[in-house]
A = this chain, B = another copy of it.
Amino acid sequence: MLKCYQIPDLKKIRLTGGFLHDFQKIVKEKAMPYQWEVLNDRVEGADKSGSIENFRIAAGESDQEYFGTCFQDSDIGKWLEAAAYHLAMEEDPVLEKNADDVINLLGRAQQKDGYLNTYFTVAEPGNRFTNIRECDELYCFGHLAEAAVAYYESTGKRKFLDIMCRYADLLCKTFGNEEGQIPACDGHPEAEYAFVRLYEATGCKRYLQQAGFQLDTRGSEPYYYDIEWERRGYKSFHPHLQGERPSDDKGYDQSERPVRELKEPVGHAVKVGYLLTGMAAYGRCANDQEMLNACGRVLDSTIQQQMYITGAVGSTTHKEAFSSAYYLPNGTAYGETCASVALIRALVAAMRTSPRSVWADAMERIIYNALPAGISMDGEHYFYVNPLEVYPPEIQADKIYEKVKPVRQPWYPCACCPPNLVRMAASLGKCIYLFDKDRIYVNLYASSEGTLTLDDHSKVHLIQKTEYPWDGMVHLQVEGGSGKTLFLRIPGWCDEGWISVNGKSLGSVFQNDLKKNSGNSTADQEDGYYSIEIIEDRTEITLELKMGVYPVYAHPLIRADAGKAAVMRGPVVYCAEEKDCGKLLYQLSFDPDFGFSVGPETVWHAPVLSARKGFRDKYSENVSKKPYFKQRPEKMEAAIYLVPYAFWGNRNDGLAKEMTVWLRTAESSDKSI
C-alpha cells in the first residue's frame, strides 16, 4: 500500500508576511478585483474577455455574439477556484457574492442533460464532442470542476459541485470504451485531475474510473483524433494546425505512447503539466505505483533537462512546447506562465506519495522566480511568455520573437495565464507542508501559521517566522506533535546551515546524514531533509540557512549559457536590468571569483546585488564606422547591479527595456579584491 501525505487545508493555514505573503496580497487585493472587471468586459484598453457574457448568452439572457476562443470558460473556472481559496483563508462578502452570482449563472447556462460549455452551446450548437483534440471541452470542464470542488471545500456550498457533477455524469456516460461511447481522452489534459478531485469530494468511484480511462486511453490505438478529424472533413479549429493530420504530431497531445511508458516531457508544456498532475493524483487514489513511477520519471527528466534556471518550462513558441533535452534559449524562451503553474501542481501532487527534496527544490525555484514574474507589482499586468533575456530592438526585428512581450499586458486574447496565476498564488499555503499520521515535511520556508490535522486526528500547530528568501533565518514553533517526526527540507542551493532546537545547537545541518534521516524503506524517499523527533509539546526550532550570493553555471549541453553565469541568492534568481545597468546589457561581463556586494539598496525588500568585478566592453572611438574591425574591445570596469528576476520590468514606466539573467563571465588578471 502506498504511503500518502495530506496537504494543508487552506482554512487552517495562512501566510503572515514576507515575499509569498506580499505576492498573495497583490493577487488578492489587486488582481482578483481587476480580473473580475476584465472577465465582465469592463476594462478599457485590455483585450476583451467575453467569458461572463458567453455564459449569459448560453443562459438565454443576452443577445450578444459569442466572443473569444473555444476555451473562454476555463478562465471563469480558474478565477472561481482562486476565489474559493481566498474565501477559505478569509471572509469576503463581496467576493463571495460575485462568485455565487457566476455560479448561479453557470447553473442557468447548463443544458438539461448536464452539458455546460458556452462555445458549443452558443457558437457551434450541434457540434459538441466533434473535436475533442482541439476544442477543449474536457479541459474547460476540468477547470470548472476543480473550482467547484475548491468552492465546496471552502464554503461548504454544494450548488457549484452539483452542477459540475451533473456535467461529470454526462461525460462519464459519453466517454469510455463501451459501445456507443467516445473512446477519447481530452485533447488538453486537465479533466484527469478534475475527475480525481470530484472523486475525493464525493466519494463517487465512477469519477476515479473516468480519470483512469482518460489516462490510459491516451497513447492507445486506434488514435481517435484522426478518426474525428476525418469525420469533420479534415478541418481544424486552430489555423496553425490546419492541414496537419493529428497523427503527424501525436507528441503535441502526449499520445506517442501510453502514459505509463512516458520517459520525458513531450509536446505542449501546459498539457504535460496537467497530465502529470492527473497521473500523480490518480496514482495516489487508485494505489497505482506504475502510474506514479511514470509521472516521476517525466518530472525528473523535466527538471534535469528542460527547466530554465527560473523554473520556467516549455522552451519553444511553436506549439508552446517542450523541446529537446537542454535546448533552453533565453531570448526566444517561451516559458508560459501556465506551464509554471501546471508544473508546481504536478510536483505537489507527486510529492503526496513521494516527498522528494529535489521536487521541492524545483517547486521552490518556480515559486520564487518564474511564477511571480508573471504578474506586475500593480497586479494588473501579466506575462504569458517569460523570456530570460529581453533586448527590445531584436524583438522588433524578427518574427521569431513574435510572442515575446517586453512589457506585461493588461490581458490577452488567449488569456489562460492571468487567472491561472491568481489561483496558484491563492493556494500557495497548500505547498508548505506534507503530512500523514507521524511525519510532517516542511517544504517551503515562509512566515505562516497553520494547523495540521494528522491522519491520527492529532493536531499540530506550526508557526514560521522568517524573512526568507531575503534572509536565511527561520524560526519554527511547533505546538503539539509529540512523538511525530519533522522533516525540514535543506534546499539544494544551500551549502551551509545550522540548527538549534529549544535553544540547544545541533550544529551543521550537513553533519547530520540526511540520507539516513528519511528512515523509511520506500525507494522513492531520498536525501535532502533534516529530521527532528518531536518530544515536547512545544518545540522551538531555529534553522539558519546561509543565504550566500553565488554564481550559477549551466549544464555543458545548454548551449545558450556557455561562457555565462547567472547569479542567485538563496533560491532567488537575479537579473540585470537596463534601469540599473544601462543599455546593451550583452556588453557586460563579470568575474564571478570576486564575489558580490549585497545591498544596501533594496527593491521590494530584496537586497540589490552588485558584482565586485564587473566590466563593460569598451570599443575604440572609430570602430562604429565599420561593421567589422580588428581592434579588440577592451574591458572597462563597470557597475553591474542585479535585482530579482521575479520583479523585472516593474520599474520601466511601461516601456520596453533590456533585461538578462545570464551574463558573460570574464577573467581579470588582478585577483585582489
Chain A contact residues, CB within 8 Å of chain B: 303-305, 307, 309, 315-318, 323-324, 326-327, 329, 332, 391, 393-394, 396-400, 495, 550-559, 562-563, 565-566, 584, 586-587, 589, 592-593, 617, 619, 623-633, 664-667, 669
Contacts and interface: CB of A to CB of B under 8 A. Distances in A.
A324 B396 contact: yes
A345 B324 CA distance: 41
A659 to B, nearest CB: 13
A397 B327 contact: yes
B632 A593 contact: yes
A329 B555 contact: no
A626 to B, nearest CB: 7
Contacts of A669: 667, 669
7 contacts: A309-B628, A315-B397, A329-B394, A553-B623, A553-B628, A553-B630, A563-B589
Contact of A399 (B304, B316, B556): B316
Contact of A592 (B619, B624, B632): B632
A528 B665 CA distance: 39
Contacts of A326: 627
A587 B323 CA distance: 21
B398 A323 contact: yes
A329 B398 contact: yes
Given A324-B393, A332-B400, A553-B623, 8 more contacts: A309-B628, A550-B630, A553-B631, A555-B624, A556-B587, A556-B623, A566-B628, A593-B632
Given A563-B617, A664-B562, A669-B669, A552 B630 contact: yes
Contacts of A554: 627-628
Nearest to A316: B398
B627 A316 contact: no
Contacts of A632: 551, 553, 565, 592-593, 665
B667 A667 contact: yes
A573 to B, nearest CB: 9
Contacts of A665: 632
A553 B629 contact: yes
A556 B619 contact: yes
Nearest to A493: B630
A563 B53 CA distance: 54
B628 A559 contact: no
Contacts of A394: 324, 327, 329, 559
Contacts of A557: 584, 624
Contacts of A562: 586-587, 617, 664
B327 A398 contact: yes
Contact of A391 (B551, B559, B563): B559
A622 B324 CA distance: 22
Nearest to A329: B398
Contact of A393 (B303, B327, B553, B565): B327
Contacts of A400: 316-318, 332, 400
A202 to B, nearest CB: 41
A268 to B, nearest CB: 14
Contact of A563 (B303, B550, B584, B664): B664
B555 A584 contact: no
Contacts of A623: 553, 555-556
A619 B495 CA distance: 19
A159 to B, nearest CB: 44
Contact of A304 (B627, B666, B667): B627
A393 B326 CA distance: 10
A627 B303 contact: yes
A625 B625 CA distance: 47
A492 to B, nearest CB: 8
Nearest to A550: B630
A309, A565, A593, A633, most chain B CB atoms within 10 A: A633
A304 to B, nearest CB: 6
Contacts of A589: 563
A664 B564 CA distance: 11
Nearest to A304: B627
A586 B556 CA distance: 10
A316 B394 CA distance: 11
A632 to B, nearest CB: 6
Nearest 6 interchain pairs by C-beta: A318-B399, A324-B397, A327-B397, A400-B400, A323-B397, A562-B586
A633 B555 CA distance: 10
A326, A587, A632, most chain B CB atoms within 10 A: A632
Contacts of A592: 632
Nearest to A318: B399
A443 to B, nearest CB: 19
A474 to B, nearest CB: 22
A358 to B, nearest CB: 9
Nearest to A239: B243
A324 B632 CA distance: 25
Nearest to A323: B397
Contact of A552 (B399, B587, B628): B628
A422 B565 CA distance: 46
Nearest to A399: B318
A667 B554 CA distance: 21
A332 B398 contact: yes
A184 to B, nearest CB: 27
Contacts of A559: 391, 394, 584, 586
B563 A627 contact: no
Contacts of A584: 556-557, 559
A667 B666 contact: yes
Nearest to A558: B627
A210 to B, nearest CB: 35
A551 B630 contact: yes
B555 A626 contact: yes
